[in-house]
Amino acid sequence: MEIQSIFTSEYNMSNKHAEIDYLLKSLEQKKSLREIFEQRLHELKTSQTAIEKMFQISHRTLDGLLDGTQKRVNYMALSQLAIFLNMTTEEIFEIHVEQLKNNFETENTSANKKRFIKENFDLTVLRKANILNTVTDYDVIEAKLKSLLNLKSIFDYKKRDFSAAFWSGIIPQKSVVRNTLTRDLWLTYARNIAIQLDNPYYFNREALVKYFPQIRWHSTNLEFGLLNVIKSLFKLGITVIVQSHLSALHLRGATFVVNSKPCIVLTDYRGNYPTLWHCLVHELYHVLFDLNEIAENQYHISEDPEELLSVNQKEAEADAFAKKYLFSAEKLKEVSPYIRDLNYINEVAEENNVHPSIIHAYHAYEKQGVDRMAWIRAKRQMPEIRTAIYRLEFSLADKKPVNELIKTKKLEIYN
């Protein structure tokens, strides 16, 4: 086809609807101008050189428009390109601006760094946690975040792009965005730790099943129980990390995969010792039964209502398993009438190889909404959680570089 015939009324009338459908489809698929242009050339059996000659556009200018590589926009040339692609100037300008944004938004400028940091981190939460000592000096903020997350460039940070089964608390609607930013940072930090710990042991599911009956009684050893369990699980190929909590983070724990091996991260959510053990067993359930989905990035990433329902069901199953394993509903029903008899509850706990605070916590959970004093009484029986985790915890606010913390904990725990 001769190039001059492209824009004849006869050609436009006969191809109008097909071209409209094509262009709309191209926009829906978010194709670049280069892709749309190449498709147009193919349809019309012409070349880029012919188009450059026709509109008297230099090769460099046209490439810059098509690829979004020139900051200075030649509006006349862009209008001519719109005519060739049978698009409005508004349509082509929108696509071109998006390409410019993609190409230059991570350019190493102060303005881009500031925008990127504000979009990806909740600075108020980090300041409250003593991770940052400023929310206005972006050079200081950038340096701290790069050190914290082991980044060469702040633009290397990506919001969580890996699948994780995470057990969330109730998230107020007004806190959803803040929770998401904080959660992604918290999980990314944990994953970086797991990568550097680099568990050398093969994940042995059968050995985990055999070891499972021993886990519960370790809860009775406040100072060393969790430490000993984490050491044993590490040798089974399961890395368990205890990480400091952040305000606005409605998360008790999570499970993800590094190097084809399960990793669990726990936190002192609300400072409850029983919750720590419940969460560990909850996450180990995911290790046993949901690991393939987590490894294949198919867990907690869908917006499909049916799939979300499936995820919620799995979380409920993990929760029910943890309760039954630590102290079943049947046993709880038997002892609940005597919950204020501390000596009796201590005896029952000892018989069942479980810390008594777990029984008190489960009773309070069952009675919430009925007995407003239940949680107050239960918390009186809860030990100081710091005793259990102070050797284990990775704190985002620690002044030592994370690499040094990992070296120390490798010698003491993860070996």
First to last CA, the chain: 72
| Residue 78, helix vs strand vs coil | helix
Look at 252 and 282; give whichever has higher pLDDT: 282
Collect all residues with Cβ–Cβ distance below 8 Å to 388 and sequence separation of at least 6: 222, 223, 225, 226, 273, 276
Closest by Cα among 330, 314, 245 to 282 = 314
Which pLDDT does position 306 carry in this prediction?
47
Q: pLDDT by residue (tens digit) across 365-391?
A: 999 888 889 999 999 999 999 999 999
Instruction: Kindly state the tokens that stand for 46.
Output: 């012409």
Confidence band for 302, pLDDT divided at 50, 70 and 90? very low
The residues that bridge with 264 in the sheet, in sequence order, are 240, 255
Q: Categorize the per-residue pLDDT at 26 as very low, low, confident or very high, splitting at 50, 70 and 90.
A: very low
Question: Which two tokens mark 121?
Answer: 């981190």
* Cβ proximity of 134 and 127 under 8 Å: yes
Average confidence (pLDDT) over 292-299: 76
Element (H, E) at 404: helix 402-412
CA distance linking residue 359 with residue 351, whole number of Å: 12
Give the mean model confidence (pLDDT) for residues 54-71. Answer: 80
CA 349, 350, 355, 358: dihedral to nearest 10 degrees?
A: -10
Which of 160-164, 190-194, 346-350 is least confident?
160-164
DSSP letter string, 204-260: -HHHHHHHHHHHGGGGG-TTTHHHHHHHHHHHTT-EEEEE---TT--EEEEEEEETT
Q: Which neighbouring-strand residues pair with 394?
A: 243
336 vs 70, 80, 240, 311, 375, CA distance in Å?
Answer: 72, 80, 33, 31, 14
User: Any residues with CB less than 8 A from the CB of 406 and at least 6 apart, and which?
Assistant: 193, 196, 197
Half-sphere exposure of residue 378: CA atoms within 13 angstroms, side-chain side: 24
Global pTM value: 0.72
pLDDT for 108: 66
What is the pLDDT confidence band of residue 60, given thresholds at 50, 70 and 90?
A: confident
Is pLDDT above 50 for 119? Answer: yes
Whether the per-residue pLDDT at 220 is higher than 50: the answer is yes
The per-residue pLDDT for 34 is: 85
How do residues 196-207 score in pLDDT, each as one tens digit?
999 999 999 999
Question: In terms of DSSP H, where are the helices of 88-244?
Answer: 89-104, 110-120, 123-128, 138-149, 176-197, 205-215, 225-235
Of residues 331 and 119, which shows the higher confidence score? 331
Report how far residue 357's alpha carbon sits from residue 272's, in angstroms, rounded to the nearest whole number: 9
Who contacts 58 (Cβ-Cβ below 8 Å, separation ≥6)? 52
